[in-house]
A and B are shown apart, each in its own frame.
Chain A
């Protein structure tokens, strides 16, 4: 039961060296997070956080725990992490053109010393006037290389989504290619392409895996050459388009119009791209978040049958980066460039909880991804300032 009350920051997991950009719970207290270098780390969080006394003026407001394992294989930014419903695998998508499936608790390949707090050490050295900072490892972790690689993309893979039953997977890349996988067989089931100039920014599957919800867009080619975005439903098995959600919203929308004037039709709705999408677990709603750097990013909620806009929820200054539904489909959890996690009621759009706080000033870091633990009592968000923030709900 998801009860988004009394959120308490329990951990600030130090993850420096490169921006953390994807996160997933891989167990009730087990967390995976990845960065732009392609490193995936696993943390085993103790049931009770270590003793920690917070200085209200300090950056650190919760204790750190070092990771226990590193999954080695990706060679470029990891864009998405998803745990399979059976809790046995972690699926990752990357700018290295690959989708990888990692067995959780797979064989240990070796051990490695890792340095994850170099920036913190430098800050401390500046504060105390020390000349040299230590480069000693932060921790020693197990390494795992065992994984399956799903071959099929030849470009950056931005989009990844798993059906509710875990039997189908959807992935999408920067060459506008979408692949729906028979995840049990680890083989492509269908594939199609969006507009050739667009890239697939985000994708999700319906709970039964029969429908794919795909957002495609592209940054402009010139001020006067702005390709139109796409927000569509597709038959996952055949790759046939079943509903053009943008067309429902804008009947005069012309997908072949790439002029500046044409972009004014959709610009306010799409902002700098609907870069994160989700299908509600009850299959009734679609969510799409306004991302890229924009004025205020909102989550559009659409009826999954008609495509009609039900309402906008959340409000992240400068844009949304990731979103998800709670398992009862009653709440939307979103993160963004305002360094906050916002939890909103689907029924009326009311914001019921805000985790974290805007750090002040324009363009002050952002939270890049969000995850909810299987028991829905913990929320984790990756922070580009170099950490994974973990809150406990319900006090």
Chain B
């Protein structure tokens, strides 16, 4: 028997009227999902001041070379497991520092997702939804920015550091687009004004005057968006110091590891400490169709060093309680080792990990069979994964936003929160 529908799954008459009015006034494209997800809900969530750092393993890190090892099996590969600080939990020998942080981490070894290639997988694991021609779903970062962000703050609510995914704000609108920072961690060129401040202020006044006049005459939402974006860029000038890590890097290098990914993780911590709701940090090149073991030997050590440093640093500063650290890529990798010594794409059974923000650490959730081919117990879909993340962040995953006239819950219909992961 199907469970009864919950109220939020239905389109209320009031919401329908609002949406219709919105459509008439500005076109459905301008709805930006804000009709039913009231400002009050967002404000209530924001009071919790929760943050999220997404560690994005672009290309798809191998579960066999991280958290779901199969030593001695034909699918196992040459790496060996080592003990962690949690009895019974072993991790790959490439992760000695994370082994000492496993009491903070919940590993999901039973991910079962639905997009096997990179573009679809990147979209799926950023939004919780498969790509659709009809709906532009927002990324997790946009959702967190909306519900945990700081309206009118000096810093952006959604920052991406050398990462992937282009869904952005989706139907939540350009206000929740990510603020992108390049691989070397520097601010984009547009964020720096070389203009004399007096001159810049005069220009700003003039531009505001013209925009106000245009907005009054045309009732254009776009003008408002443009105005907001410009204001955000101007406010950023005050918060620029949050992006500078040079002084701190010298004393944090050992903790985070001397790598670009380490620097990005330090920046993420600094931004979270400064109030940014969501920071995504990317590490590239896990798509190891050839020489999988050499690639992981190259990629995993700097990643795990930085990740362990980040967890320790967040804990030390009292930030881990309210900061969720998500570790995932778009796909896992095949149990079978191909004749290029590589592992290909795999989504039937793979691993992700969560830590902080109420996540019950020191546990392995779900399991795979002896060769890592299929989920043996407790499968977790992309919807479940996102529902759990939102729940941990104090955001109801059932909240609906509108894409035009269509109500869309934050996590897919039918997805469930994995309560065992929450403390």
Contacts and interface: CB of A to CB of B under 8 A. Distances in A.
Interface string B272-303: 00000000000111000011001101110110
B260 A293 contact: no
Contacts of B259: 221-222, 225
A384 interface: yes
B78 A36 contact: yes
Contacts of B23: none
A33 to B, nearest CB: 18
B302 A384 contact: no
A222 B80 contact: no
Given A222-B284, A364-B339, A77 B261 contact: no
Contacts of B301: 221
B170 to A, nearest CB: 26
Contacts of A77: 78
B162 A219 contact: no
Interface string B260-274: 110000000000000
Contacts of A36: 78
A223 B183 CA distance: 9
B184 interface: yes
A221 B302 contact: yes
Interface in A148-184: 156, 174
A363 B302 CA distance: 29
Interface string A368-395: 0000000000000000110000000000
B78 A220 contact: no
B302 A222 contact: yes
A285 B260 CA distance: 38
B13 interface: no
A157 B105 CA distance: 32
B340 interface: yes
A156 B184 CA distance: 31
A363 B338 CA distance: 9
Given A272-B291, A293-B290, A220 B340 contact: no
B interface, size bucket: 20 to 34
A293 B299 contact: no
A102 interface: no
Interface string A192-220: 00000001000000000000000000111
A221 B183 CA distance: 12
B298 A221 contact: yes
Contact of B340 (A222, A273, A293, A385): A293
Interface string B393-412: 00000000000000000000
A276 B299 CA distance: 22
Interface string B300-312: 0110000000000
Contacts of B299: 219-222
A219 B297 contact: yes
Given A76-B78, A77-B78, A293-B290, A222 B339 contact: no
Contact of A224 (B80, B162, B291): B162
A77 B298 CA distance: 18
B284 A223 contact: yes
A292 B298 contact: no
A364 B290 CA distance: 12
Contacts of A364: 339
A44 interface: no
Contacts of A221: 259-261, 298-299, 301-302
Nearest to A259: B184
Nearest to B340: A363
Nearest to A385: B339
Contacts, number: 65
A272 B295 CA distance: 11
Contact of B298 (A218, A224, A363): A218
Contacts of B260: 221-222, 224-225
A365 interface: yes
A224 B339 contact: no
A95 interface: yes
Nearest to B284: A223
Contacts of B183: 222-224
A225 B302 contact: yes
A76 B293 CA distance: 13
Nearest to B283: A222
Contacts of B78: 36, 76-77, 95, 156
Contacts of B285: 220, 222-223
A364 B338 CA distance: 10
A240 B290 CA distance: 35
Contacts of A95: 78
Given A224-B184, A293-B340, A364-B339, A219 B291 contact: yes
B291 A293 contact: yes
A225 B257 CA distance: 13
B284 A384 contact: no
A218 B297 CA distance: 8
A228 B294 CA distance: 16
B294 to A, nearest CB: 5
Contacts of A199: 297
Given A220-B285, A221-B261, A221-B302, A363 B339 contact: yes
A275 to B, nearest CB: 9
Query: Which of A76, A222, A223, A224 has most B Cβ within 10 Å?
Result: A222
B61 to A, nearest CB: 13
Given A95-B78, A222-B261, A222-B299, A292 B339 contact: no
B243 to A, nearest CB: 17
Nearest to B339: A365
Interface string A71-90: 00000110000000000000
Contacts of A76: 78, 80
A174 B297 contact: yes
A77 B284 CA distance: 28
B284 A219 contact: no
Nearest to B80: A76
A219 to B, nearest CB: 3
B94 to A, nearest CB: 10
Contacts of B294: 219, 273, 292
Contacts of A363: 290, 338-340
A76 B78 CA distance: 7
Nearest to A272: B291
Interface of A: 36, 76-77, 95, 156, 174, 199, 218-225, 272-273, 292-293, 363-366, 384-385
6 contacts: A220-B285, A221-B301, A223-B183, A224-B162, A225-B260, A273-B294
Across the A-B interface, give the 7 residue pairs with the lowest CB-CB distance, nearest first: A219-B298, A224-B183, A225-B260, A293-B290, A223-B284, A221-B302, A363-B340
Given A222-B260, A224-B260, 20 more contacts: A36-B78, A77-B78, A156-B78, A218-B297, A219-B295, A220-B298, A221-B259, A221-B302, A222-B183, A222-B261, A222-B302, A224-B284, A225-B261, A225-B302, A273-B294, A292-B294, A293-B340, A363-B340, A365-B339, A366-B339
